[in-house]
Amino acid sequence: MIVLALLMAQSAASPGTVTTGERIFAQSCSVGYCHGAAGAAGRGPRLRGRNFDESYLLGVIRDGIPHSAMPAWKGRMPEADILAVVRYIESLSGGSDPATVIAAAPETRAAAAVNLPPQAERGRQLFFDSTRDTPCSTCHELDERGSAVGPDLHIAGKMTPGEIAAALRGERPSHLVTIRTTDGEVLTAVMVTENAPFVKFYDLTAALPVLRTLEQSQIRSREPVSAWSHKAYLQGLGAQEWADLIGYLRWVATRDTQEVSTSDLK
């Protein structure tokens, strides 16, 4: 532990640590079947623009996540390199230290090519707000940002504001299940695929949704979720913020519907 503490202190002080971590991340983590370039979403979750507890990052990188695509790098990568990757991921959060901040990716078409109405712009900022513990983009993708874990939100274009608000506040979504494993784990999950003898799902009990694969024989039971709600993720929103968020969802859905209609005429 003393050696690890010294390495962490040295990695924090070294100006080249983030650069080293960026190189290692590109070689070992940003590959076709894992995280995207510069912390973007790939098959693994998006890391850019999020804040992580340092001990959580260190533990996940060193020990991996069981039954998932996240491998353990302990013993496969020097401790100094693991810590460099931790520092690089921390730099992607968008902190204020110019020595460790990696430039953000270019804005998406919604932000760069179109001037959003004021309410939709406020809602967009809220949807992707990395200062919130769990922004909407943790589980939903819009405009090529976020993680496509939860349902496609473009359906909002066919819903009234009241229906959207009811869906956001709603409990026990039909697409969630509770999985109990033979190892005693109890998981809230979003099913992805079932190709016997394997089951692939997003585990929502982790700090970020983690794509996991289990053998059918490792699952003791599976049933509709009994206790889950968006309310825990939307706490603290005032009436104006609710209206802004709903306004953004409706704006994106309406815009994309209009784009499809226009392309049909060509």
pLDDT of 39-62, one tens digit each? 877 767 778 878 888 888 899 999
Report the sign of the C-alpha dihedral through residues 47, 48, 53, 55, in that order.
Answer: positive
pLDDT of 226-263, one tens digit each? 666 677 677 778 889 989 999 998 898 887 665 544 34
Beta bridge partners of 202: 190, 211
Distance CA 112, CA 126 (A): 17
Mean pLDDT, the chain, whole residue set: 75
Residue 180 pLDDT: 92
- Say whether the peptide bond before residue 15 is cis (omega within 30 degrees of 0): no
Beta bridge partners of 189: 177, 203
What is the average per-residue pLDDT within 100-109? 36
User: Would you put residue 242 in left (φ > 0), alpha (ψ -120 to 50) or beta?
Assistant: alpha
pLDDT(220) > 90 = yes
Rounded to two decimals, what is the model's pTM? 0.54
What domains does the chain contain, in order, with CATH numbers? Answer: 2-91 (1.10.760.10), 109-170+231-265 (1.10.760.10), 176-228 (2.30.30)
How many residues are given for the chain? 266
Residue 12 pLDDT: 56
What is the average per-residue pLDDT within 155-175? 72
Residue 257 pLDDT: 63
Structure tokens at 248: 């953004």
Residues with Cβ within 8 Å of 65's Cβ and at least 6 positions away in sequence, in order, are 206, 210, 212
Residue 15 pLDDT: 65
What is the average per-residue pLDDT within 56-79? 85
